[in-house]
Amino acid sequence: MQYQVITEQQQLDEFVAAIADAKLLALDTEFMRRRTLYPEVALIQVYDGQSLALIDPLVDLDFSSFWQILKSDDTLKVLHSPSEDIEVFNNFAGFVPTPMFDTQFALQLLGEGNCVGFANMVKQILEIDIDKSESRTNWLQRPLTSKQLDYAASDVFHLLPCFHEIYKQISEKNLINIVLEESQLIIEKRSYELPDELLYQDIKNAWQLKPRDLATLQVLAPWRRRKAKNKNLALNFVLKEQNMVEIAKRRPTNLSSLRNVPGVEQMEVNRSGKEILNAIEQGKSIDIESCPEKLLRLIDYPQYKKAAKEISNQIKKVAMETDIPADVFASKKQINQLISWKWKHDDETRKLLLKPDLLKSWRWEYLQDVLSEWQ
């Protein structure tokens, strides 16, 4: 396995020229996510079947010509379980490479089960054991060790031959478009951001709160996200989710009482105490008539279990007819997403939300007859 490490502009320009006409690129990234909101990109791996490069994004390089290839509709980008890579590219490059083929989803579509890991895929298809010991090392250190570089290169080096075998089987079943559409769906979901006014509904245990408490939480949740973005801090390093719920319940009026809220850490008070108190005051100023309604969990709806079972059974019938695994059509989470979208929100709110997976793209093409009442 031969590869080059690119740290200079001339190297990148020459590599881009070498892969300019490639119809297929295996892609991967290495990144770190410690205390940050956004993943810190540390390496970009690219392989077209002949030229393999490890591009160092920590040096000052002009990526514009490389980005054009990743944006080209003429070049299929192959990744394995790309959800986090999508986020890396979104934040570092400002876009996501398309069209994209996710080998993990393709394996699921072929009936190989959910979430087949990269090492298991390589073992299964190529009969090669991969050493994963470097996966959790510090990718931001420089220089990277030869062991780290070999590991990073092997990811795309082995990905391409696995893809060829998977693509052959997917083609025989005429399922290529489903894989491509699913990748687009993942990109859409990873790029979507819940509007500020609805963010509180996603907070765990928010259902326990009364309307007046929810008014405070409705202010706290977007404040936390804004601060996390501005500081590039993971959300829970700004304010832990469970602490936010407790603060909304108790609505302390000063720093001393804020420190006494169970679970609240001194660091949270020192870093954001005054801002938290300000958010509490904003929540208190909301008229009771304008406070959010108490949130219901799906299990609080008497018909929930019956509806979920009916949807699941309908999907299983379609799965049998199409020879597509039922768990590819819909996980329990996706069924719940559909029911929540229909039952918990009015027409105006639904316009702000992502449409449920089951009501769009390839899934809807297969399921529209059995799920028409849910659209």
Beta bridge partners of 101: 78
77 φ/ψ angles, rounded to the nearest 5 degrees: -100, 125
- Give the HSE-up count for residue 73: Cα atoms under 13 Å, Cβ half-sphere: 0
pTM to 2 decimal places? 0.94
Over the chain, what is the mean pLDDT?
96
Would you say domain 196-290 falls under CATH 1.10.150.80? Answer: yes
Catalytic residue list: 28, 30, 85, 151, 155
**H/E run at residue 68:** helix 64-71
Instruction: Provide the pLDDT confidence category of residue 136 given band limits of 50, 70 and 90.
Output: confident
Which residue, among 333, 341, 338, 344, has the nearest Cα to 367 in the 3D structure? 338
pLDDT digits (tens, 9 = 90+) for 317-372: 999 999 999 999 999 999 999 999 999 999 999 999 999 999 999 999 999 999 99
- CA 149, CA 100: separation in Å to the nearest integer? 24
**Contact assessment for residue 182 and residue 361, using Cβ atoms and an 8 Å cutoff:** yes
pLDDT digits (tens, 9 = 90+) for 218-235: 999 999 999 999 999 999
**Contact assessment for residue 262 and residue 246, using Cβ atoms and an 8 Å cutoff:** yes
The answer to whether the 196-290 and 298-374 domains have the same CATH topology is yes
pLDDT of the residue at 133: 82
- CA 84, CA 30: separation in Å to the nearest integer? 10
* CATH class of domain segment(s) 298-374: mainly alpha
- Cis peptide bond upstream of 143, omega within 30: yes
Q: Is 134 a residue whose pLDDT tops 90?
A: no
Q: Is 288 a residue whose pLDDT tops 90?
A: yes
pLDDT digits (tens, 9 = 90+) for 140-195: 999 999 999 999 999 999 999 999 999 999 999 999 999 999 999 999 999 999 99
Would you say domain 4-191 falls under CATH 3.20.20.140? Answer: no
pLDDT of the residue at 135: 79
pLDDT of the residue at 114: 84
As a whole number of Å, the CA-based R_g of the chain is 24
- Determine the average pLDDT of the residues in 90-106: 97
pLDDT digits (tens, 9 = 90+) for 32-61: 988 999 999 999 999 999 999 999 999 999
Map out the domains of the chain as residue ranges: 4-191, 196-290, 298-374
Q: Is 115 a residue whose pLDDT tops 90?
A: no
Give the tokens for residue 54.
């490890």
